[in-house]
Amino acid sequence: MSTFPIDPEHVSADTAASRAELPSGVATEADLMTFLAGLGITTETVRHPPVFTVEEAKTLRGDLPGTHIKNLFLKDKKGRLWLVVVDEDRPMDLKDLRRRLGAAPLSFAKPDVLADVLGVEPGSVTPFAALNDTTGAVTVVLDAAVMAGDRLHCHPLINTATTAIAPDDLHRFLRACGHDPLVIDLTT
């Protein structure tokens, strides 16, 4: 095994000391769970049939208390990549989002870019995929309303499971992956 590449400037000394070793290449769900455990982060995962939309997820995941998120993988006209994490029921206006981010015009990134950069397929987009963005190509944006909850639910790199994590632990995970997420109020 080789140490998963992480930018040490974005990691505290205790996090850097406790990070897990992962095989090179695209991380799997098992790699993710090992990485989280290495950071001392506790999660709970529930299995379900594959889901590709919020509506399917609501039907198939069962009653899981907490905030369920949706993730928008976007590309702006300048080529910048964005992973926007919001409540699953939050409508998103890309023009308004562009203004809030100070970005060039936004559109959904192509599936091949998603696979190349985040190592996941459509339907499996998740903030956990930041683990696969070893070059820091993606700016992660977290809606402040989502981060104010006590428990977040997202896919663990696959769309056949949902993993619960505390918002502070998600933030810590992202920083350990070399991402300093923007936390922005997207509700006003």
Residue 46: partners with Cβ closer than 8 Å, 6 or more residues away: 61, 62, 64, 161, 162, 163, 164
Over residues 163-178, the mean pLDDT reads: 96
* Structural domain 43-184, CATH architecture: Alpha-Beta Complex (3.90)
Identify the pLDDT of residue 85: 97
**Distance separating alpha carbons of residues 166 and 143, to the nearest angstrom:** 14
Q: Is the pLDDT of residue 9 over 50?
A: no
The identity of residue 133, as a single letter, is D
Over residues 19-27, the mean pLDDT reads: 57
